[in-house]
Structure 1
Amino acid sequence: MDRSKVAIVIPAFNEAQTIQAVINELNDKLTDVDIIVVDDGSSDETAAKAREMGVKVVSQDRNRGYSEAINRGFTYAAESGKYEYVTTVDADGQHDPESVLAVIQAASNADIDIVIGQRNEHARISEKVFGLYFRYKFGIKDPLCGLRLYRLSLFTQYGQFETFDSIGSELMTWALATGKRYLCVDVNIRDRADQPRFGSGVKVNLRILKSLLATTSFIGKAKASV
């Protein structure tokens, strides 16, 4: 794989405290990979701090959410005509740059459509349930890790990153259900300094379980379309 054909898309909402450190670490490990920061309507200096680092910044007019920010980054990457792969990385510093490198290297060593990062443990009981279902269906234990690499043609073929609240897993699920080639790579997730943006507690667990129900229906429809 030519790494100049890889873009890293970082969705960022009010991450001014971490965005420069994240970019610095990625630049140290992946000097030949372009970084695209999608500022998701931040009210702090996220966009300005990212621009200071010399990376491409795409700004949303308002906060539209994690998946829509990734969708915007994928669209920019596709329209540029420069890239064959996109890697999604969080802006909070939890994705270890060594793990980002490992995900990209996994695609370098095989003809793969998607590389899925898998964490050592799940933060929430609902994520464990989600993972058990995906292990049964596809042999994948961590479908909700945000660190993944996609062949960009998956996005252009499917047309969206997410159309329902899949917790950022719809494009991956479509790829799995339609027989695309994949690998799983163990990744290291570091602790976040402040509170998680996704939230915690009963409400979040219910959201994830509701998403799982919608995903089971989606998988059936995706398989039927092949």
Structure 2
Amino acid sequence: MDDIAVLIPCYNEDKTIEKVVSDFKRVLPDAVIYVYDNNSTDDTEKLAKKAGAIVRHEYQQGKGNVVRRMFQEIDAHCYILVDGDDTYPAESAAKMVKLVQEHNADMVVGDRLSSTYFEENKRPFHNIGNCLVRGMVSKLFHGSIRDIMTGYRAFSYRFVKTFPILSCRFEIETEMSIHAIDKRMQVENVIVPYRDRPEGSVSKLNTFLDGWSVIKTLIRLFRIYNPFAFFGIISIMLFLISLVMFVPVLITYIETGLVPRYPTLIVSGFLSVAAIQLAGIGISLQNMLHKNRQDFELELYHAEIQERTEKD
């Protein structure tokens, strides 16, 4: 088992990968540097090997697939995950590693948004999107993570080996953040300087497509991690619509003794039944979620035992 593993997912990053690997070898000389190439068509693999990295491959396209492969294959006491585009400084890694090794942090978040991100990043819609996602996570999940979508993080062994990765693309960062919040993992924020990509290096993000994917992921995770609130909100909305439709019919009946709008009454009744059913579904799923959280605590316990066994 490695002491520190630096994980760099890459797709066509030959303009920057050699510098990124060299910087981390300088800052963390005892770390093992892994570059996972995701079907690059340029010289990423050759330059990563030249700089001293161990190069492996993931042939399913998408960052989520790459991270999934990394977490499955590599065992380490501390992991650093960083993009290969040279937008994050290697100098911050030592502090992030220390928080994992000495302060029992499960995930350390490299917080760009509190430093130079909004000055350096030249894509205004990315800035808006990051703020939107941070606000949604804060409201929906009550988390204190200051940069939800950063690609610079450190992890403990137990986080990596108990994190079920479902996302295939760039939603992976959002999934990591919400998993850590929901499972009460110890999360630390470290402010890191951010620099925009150097000239000639091209972002693989599609602002609107990937932004919409992240929002869909947030909604999906809200349904999974807080089903009572998710289905409860829909239930209340349906009940209110039903009530709005029912009240005029009730008033007419009180005044005349007649029910002239049977279709309205029937639709109102169906909506009320649907609202009750959704509330019941939310309660049932919330109970199942509580059991899953109990099982997850046992998974953490077994992961810690496994790590201690590897150390001995």
TM-score by length of 1: 0.86
- Say yes or no: does 1:14 pair with 2:12: yes
The SS at the match of 1:22 is helix
Among residues 159, 166, 171, which one is paired with 1:162 in the alignment? 166
CA distance in 1, matches of 2:138, 2:56: 35
Among residues 95, 101, 113, which one is paired with 2:94 in the alignment? 101
Which residue number corresponds to residue 65 of structure 2? 68
Q: Which amino acid aligns with 2:85?
A: D
1:80-123 CA-partner distances (Å, limit 9, x unpaired)? xxx11211010000011122233223223311111112112463
Which residue number corresponds to residue 195 of structure 2? 190
Equivalent pair of 2:174/2:214 in contact (CA under 8 Å): no
CA distance in 1, matches of 2:63, 2:197: 17
Q: CA deviation at 1:29?
A: 0.9
The SS at the match of 2:162 is helix
Which residue number corresponds to residue 218 of structure 2? 212
CA RMSD of the aligned region, Å? 2.3
Report the structure, 1 or 2, having the larger helix content.
2
Percent identical residues: 21
- Say yes or no: does 1:129 pair with 2:126: no
Moved more, 22-31 or 97-106: 97-106
Ranges in structure 1 where 5+ consecutive residues have no aligned partner: none
CA distance in 2, matches of 1:38, 1:117: 21
Equivalent pair of 1:47/1:59 in contact (CA under 8 Å): no
TM-score by length of 2: 0.63
Q: Residues 163, 173 of structure 1: CA spacing in aligned structure 2 closer, same or farther, 3 A cutoff? A: same
1:38-81 CA-partner distances (Å, limit 9, x unpaired)? 01111112112111222211112x35111111111222213xxx
Which residue number corresponds to residue 84 of structure 2? 91
* Deviant stretches of 4+, over 4 Å: none
Ranges in structure 2 where 5+ consecutive residues have no aligned partner: 119-125, 228-285, 294-312
Which residue number corresponds to residue 148 of structure 1? 153
The SS at the match of 2:40 is coil
Q: What number of residue pairs does the alignment pair up?
A: 217
1:140-160 CA-partner distances (Å, limit 9, x unpaired)? 2211111111112223223x3
Q: CA deviation at 1:209?
A: 2.2
CA distance in 2, matches of 1:171, 1:209: 14
Bigger CA radius of gyration: 2
Q: CA deviation at 1:128?
A: 1.0
